[in-house]
Amino acid sequence: MTDHILLVSTDKQARLDMPEVLRRFGFQVTAVGDGSDARRLLSSDVPDLILLDDPWPKDVGADMMEAWAQDLPILVLCGGDGMEAALQALRLGATEFLAKPVDPEELAGAARRIIDNVLLYRRGEFYTSVLRHEAPSLLVGESALLRRLLANLAAVAATEATVLILGESGVGKEKVAQEIHRLSPRAEGPLVAVDCCSLPETLFESELFGHERGAFTGAAQRKPGLIEQAKGGTLFLDEIGEIPVPIQAKLLRVLETKRFRRLGAATDIQAEVRIVAATNRDLDGMAQRGEFRQDLLYRLNTFVVSVPPLRERREDIPPLVRHFLSHPGLSQRIAKRTSESAMQQLVAYDWPGNVRELRNIVERAIILSGNKLKIDSEHLTLARTPASAPSGGVTLTFDHEPSLAEIERRYLQLLLERHEGRRSTVARVLGIGERTLYRLLADLKASSEQDQERGVRGEG
């Protein structure tokens, strides 16, 4: 197929001669004398290259050049004293320039090279995107809801839009963030995940934005923050509802201006990141109570992805079970299957702890079934559904006089089991914030690692 060049030149003689020369090298050329003719032609036909002759027409402004350069390669021909024009053209996105007078062969050679390069680049882009999309999704499942979710993810991944992921605890919000990153043009860059719940409030700012040397006592070195570490990639802010209000204002500035400042710095830095955030909290309610900035919420709401709870997409349960059974970390390298009745039980269960709970149950069943190939109902330790779960009293029994710390630990374990690890619910029952609960859980984890006795011995 003949490659098509659009020549834009105010020089009438050039509009006659140059197409003649280029045609000899196998190009098809259309010549126009001003920007409006060029625009008209571009609205109906897409050339492979724009050849822009200096001095270019008065009605070809910077905006027009930039718009052209977005879609098409531009080769600029500049006069002996036209260096300034050439540089400006390059700044606006032109691909290359040649100084006049141009040797016909050199001109044809440059045009051919540029067109071929663009084609190669576009092919590369196409196949990369095909491969990326054809690689199995990180999100396992076959339900219509999940397929719709994946289609939304693919659409938003291609853009730079900020995404807010909503959903119950354990539903797969972090997996969704990973999938957005994987499908995005930033996939080669880093994905930096920040658990806003676990970052102590005092460290939050310096961790996120970094600090200069001497910014505060103990800041012996300049330290880039997580935003900088995510440069060229994606910054995933998990549990964004936990961000302290003063930091929310600074984060809003990053979203609005793409700029931020290290602690103790005098100048701004460009934030070259795409931000994806997630929460299981009701940010609207928080905003109404003044716990979350309305303007930040407004910014985050640009594109909202809601991940449905597992009980609303039960078709995903069998493929997820198979996925976890074949997970090398979990399967102990035995290809296990579930009995029909076990699978039926799993599909019928309500999964208040969502996919995380399913994963835990499968993990436990793998262990409990020992060397048996088949996982049966007896290996499933499904909790009582919330409807049948005790809602009121609690009895903790000890075979000795417990310390206060022991009682606290046991009670936390009980509540976690009862509420399927849903931190927000447990925090509400205890009347504390999720951040405080997180700290208690970290202590619990540390002490239960030392404690060989597992599980809850007493309950109401």
141 makes contact with ligand ATP (CB under 6 A): yes
**Site stretch for ligand ATP (CB under 6 A), options 73-81, 172-180, 379-387, 425-433:** 172-180
Q: Nearest 5°: phi and psi at 72?
A: -130, 150
356 makes contact with ligand ATP (CB under 6 A): yes
C-beta of residue 136 within 8 angstroms of C-beta of residue 183: no
- Closest to ligand ATP by CB, 148 vs 372, is 148
CA-CA distances (angstroms) from residue 24 to 107, 114, 254? Answer: 12, 18, 54
The minimum distance between CB 228 and ligand ATP, in angstroms, equals 24
Could you write out the DSSP letters of every residue in 134-175? HSPPSS----HHHHHHHHHHHHHHTS---EEEE--TTSSHHH
- For 46, which DSSP code? -
425 makes contact with ligand ATP (CB under 6 A): no
| 262-301 footprint of ligand ATP as x/- string (CB under 6 A) | ------------------x---------------------
By CB under 6 A, name the one of 19, 35, 57, 172 that touches ligand ATP. 172
> For residue 4, which of 38, 41, 50 has the smallest C-alpha distance?
50
241 makes contact with ligand ATP (CB under 6 A): no
Residues composing the chain: 460
Cβ-closest position to ligand ATP: 172
Could you write out the DSSP letters of every residue in 309-356? -GGG-GGGHHHHHHHHHT-HHHHTT---EE-HHHHHHHHHS--TTHHH
Distance CA 93, CA 67 (A): 9
The minimum distance between CB 450 and ligand ATP, in angstroms, equals 25
Here the tokens at position 95 are 């691909």
315 makes contact with ligand ATP (CB under 6 A): no
- Closest to ligand ATP by CB, 85 vs 150, is 150
**Site stretch for ligand ATP (CB under 6 A), options 121-129, 133-141, 185-193, 366-374:** 133-141
193 makes contact with ligand ATP (CB under 6 A): no
309 makes contact with ligand ATP (CB under 6 A): no
C-beta of residue 423 within 8 angstroms of C-beta of residue 241: no
338 makes contact with ligand ATP (CB under 6 A): no
**Site stretch for ligand ATP (CB under 6 A), options 18-26, 65-73, 170-178, 392-400:** 170-178
Peptide bond between residue 246 and the one before it cis (omega within 30 degrees of 0)? no
164 makes contact with ligand ATP (CB under 6 A): no
Residues in touch with ligand ATP (CB under 6 A): 139-141, 167, 169-175, 238, 280, 320, 323, 355-356, 359
